Copies of this chain bind each other. A is one copy, B any other.
Amino acid sequence: MIDAKDYLKKMSAELDGPIKSYIGDEEPKKLMDASKQYPYAGGKRMRPAMAVACCGAVGGDKSKAVPLAVAVEYIHNFTLIHDDLMDGDKVRRGMPTIHVGYGEPTAILAGDALFAKAFQIICDLDVPAERMRDALRYISQAVWDLARGQQMDVNNEGQLVTEDVYIETIKLKTSVLFAAAAAGGAIVGGADEKTVRAINEYAIELGLGFQMFDDYLGIAGDPSKTGKSVGNDIRKGKCTCMVIHALNNIKDPAELEEFKSVLGNLDATDEQCARAKDIMEKAGSIEYGLNLARQKVDIAKSKIAFLPETEEKEFMLALADYSINREV
């Protein structure tokens, strides 16, 4: 049985060289440095690993998916740079965010530059132009959707939305790029349309499970491992599936009142946040969120059951499980 974390680490090490090879010593240096910082700093590399694995899982030459994997990682990092600026986040991967380190104009431009570079890389994929075009369709649609999802996220801030709206938001913000990486890898690997679609759906569901579990970690994770203060999402009033469930299922009016008074209250104490968590727990909301994530991952795995048994398929299944069984 493949250990997804170990396998990811191995793939990440293999992808490190390519990820560092596409931005050269052009002028102006400041823009190059700013553009390199996030992709060079590491991360889980789940998206690029997925692109390469999906290529292998359909019997393709995995080396041909490596540039696509790099492009997807650049796109992911472009969105991180712009999101950090919008959210006013100061630190990522232990370093100052780009707008803090280089100023806002350079942060905007570094994101734009990574975006452009991603498409330059895709142009040069070593596959027939028709296949390149098909992969590009998924990727460019994903970036359009990412912008929509981030705007929804901005709009949702401090709002209580329905579960459907929440799921649509995380689908656009998280799943579509996973899915473009997966579908793109399968296309580069020579898969037929039906297989590409199935792999795309696998990654959509995996992405939903991944993000729901991220929300779960935000409230029930070990802060010493996640690096996130447990009360943070509650103080910010982040509207997750768990919070939506809680608001609809807390039976005791006094507890509901108490929960509402803590949610979105930036001055809430750690004790108040812990109480809010207890109330959610009692209402079954945390279990509910976790179960929803598990359901999505089950669906994800079912979508690729038809693929032939390969190491890459095994990794794809393990990655789905890993996305809801991790400490960070």
Contact = CB atoms under 8 A, between A and B. Distances in A.
Given A105-B86, A129-B130, A119 B136 contact: yes
B123 A136 contact: yes
A30 interface: yes
A150 interface: yes
B105 A147 contact: no
A10 interface: no
A151 B30 contact: yes
Contacts of A110: 147
A20 interface: no
Taken together, the copies of this chain in the complex come to 2
A141 to B, nearest CB: 6
A133 B132 CA distance: 8
Interface string A196-236: 00000000000000000000000000000000000000000
B152 A28 contact: yes
B86 A104 contact: yes
Interface in A138-159: 140-141, 143-144, 146-148, 150-152, 154-155
A30 B144 contact: no
Contacts of A116: 140-141, 143-144, 146-147
Interface in A47-97: 82, 85-86
Contact of A115 (B132, B143, B152, B155): B143
A101 to B, nearest CB: 14
Nearest to A115: B115
Nearest to A118: B140
B86 A147 contact: no
Nearest to A168: B27
B105 A154 contact: yes
B108 A148 contact: no
B137 A123 contact: yes
Contacts of A86: 104-105, 108-109
Interface in A97-115: 104-106, 108-113, 115
A123 B133 contact: yes
15 contacts: A26-B148, A28-B151, A28-B155, A31-B148, A82-B109, A86-B104, A109-B150, A112-B143, A113-B148, A115-B115, A116-B141, A117-B144, A119-B136, A129-B133, A132-B133
Interface of A: 26-28, 30-31, 82, 85-86, 104-106, 108-113, 115-117, 119-120, 123-124, 128-130, 132-133, 136-137, 140-141, 143-144, 146-148, 150-152, 154-155
Given A119-B136, A133-B133, 14 more contacts: A28-B148, A82-B109, A109-B147, A109-B150, A109-B151, A111-B112, A113-B144, A116-B147, A119-B119, A119-B140, A120-B137, A120-B144, A123-B137, A129-B130
